[in-house]
Amino acid sequence: MWSNPGIGIRGQPWNHVQMPVTQTTSKRLAIVGGGPAGLMAAEVASKAGLAVDLFDAKGSVGRKFLIAGKGGLNLTHSETRPGFDARYRERAAEVGRWLDDFNGDALREWARGFGIETYVGSSGRVFPMDRKAAPLLRSWVRRLRESGVTFHVQHRWLGWSENGDLRFATADGERCVAADAVVLAMGGGSWPELGSDGAWVEALTEHGIDVSPLQPANCGFDIGWSTHLAQRHAGAPLKPVVAHWRDAKGIEHSQQGECVITATGIEGSLIYALSADLRDAIARHGEARLTLDLVPGRELERLQRDLGKPRNGRSLSEYLRRQAGLTGVKTALLLEILNKDELHDMSHVATTLKRLPLRLTAARPIAEVISSAGGVRLGTLDDGLMLRKLPGVFCAGEMLDWEAPTGGYLLTACFASGLRAGSAAVRWLEKGSE
């Protein structure tokens, strides 16, 4: 296995490899899925001289990659390892091995090979200097075409035929394709309109592959606001706040950040960071408990003193604004949680502002969330991400059973897994031709 980050096939640095324009072997690799994992597998295989056919269900590749970069492409994160690896929770060890081959620094160096420099933002997230995804994707696809990769769009994978060929639904009817090896990189279940709809699950389970159910990840949650709050404050940001929650072991955690009130509940970067624990709590107990500190800049004792002063005829909202700095949606949340009697008890009001209790009842539907958890269980794959029950079939990207928070961690693991699956497919085919 490779051990040097940023090193490509045959030990050459990624940004110095001369791309072959003709194949050096008759072996054909089919890649199903044109996201970062599939494209990276194609790059590895084409560098090795394989004939590569890449199939995508949509009319062009990289659609979810482009959407991810719409507000600024968060390519990776500057966090050092092993902290970086820990972001993958229960899969830290497995994903860590992928990162041994291709980590965040290697990804930045790879982008530099296209003339795209990156910078580290204030939160540690890494972005291209122009923050755009399209220039990188265009350059990448152009280089892959020049290397001999053949793209087949509007090819929706249906599984395998009786003789083992790949089946695709196309505008001209079903098409069967023979390949010497396959890399499946079709994404999870989020953003189905962009191609990652999880339709591959049935085809794999029919072949005895163990697939963990797909679940929402990096998602918002339903709370069930009153009509008044939902209509008046949906879309309102909550910042800064500190979230407090307990994990599956009952250990309390806290994290400061920003989130947004929605018509049905709450979402945003802070909530996404906690979403795995919150989702799992709902699965265990039917609900998840979350508390928010709406005034993180004030200690409880000071807040109680400030709210102990006379109102002097001021309305409650004006009084809270003057004494606690509370405005807009934060005031509305307090009014949502406390009844009229409780609102007259300023000590209780102060306590609630420091620990506003929220009851989360459901994660948002998988079709609308940023990413998904679940997928092909890693135990069904060997170290090169080949399915043990289907020799010559490799899997990569979000269709594998791992998850990570936003912040560049998702993309980095997709790239790294695509590289690992593609390089393993190369070795497997080379071994078979010996």
Using a cut of 0.85, tell me whether the model's pTM lies above it: yes
pLDDT for the residue numbered 186: 98
Closest by CA position to 289, among listed 347, 226, 223? 223
Q: How far is CA 195 from the centre of its chain?
A: 15
pLDDT for the residue numbered 4: 27
For domain 17-216+370-432, is the CATH number 3.30.565.10? no
pLDDT for the residue numbered 9: 31
List the domain boundaries for the chain.
17-216+370-432, 221-363
Per-residue pLDDT for the chain (434 aa), expressed as one digit of tens each? 222 223 233 333 333 333 333 455 679 999 999 999 999 999 999 999 999 999 999 999 999 999 988 889 999 999 999 999 999 999 999 999 999 999 999 999 999 999 999 999 999 999 999 999 999 999 999 999 999 999 999 999 999 999 999 999 999 999 999 999 999 999 999 999 999 999 999 999 999 999 999 999 999 999 999 999 999 999 999 999 999 999 999 999 999 999 999 999 999 999 999 999 999 999 999 999 999 999 998 999 999 999 999 998 899 999 999 999 999 999 999 999 999 999 999 999 999 999 999 999 999 999 999 999 999 999 999 999 999 999 999 999 999 999 999 999 999 999 999 999 999 999 999 987 55
pLDDT for the residue numbered 24: 54
pLDDT for the residue numbered 19: 35
pLDDT for the residue numbered 401: 98
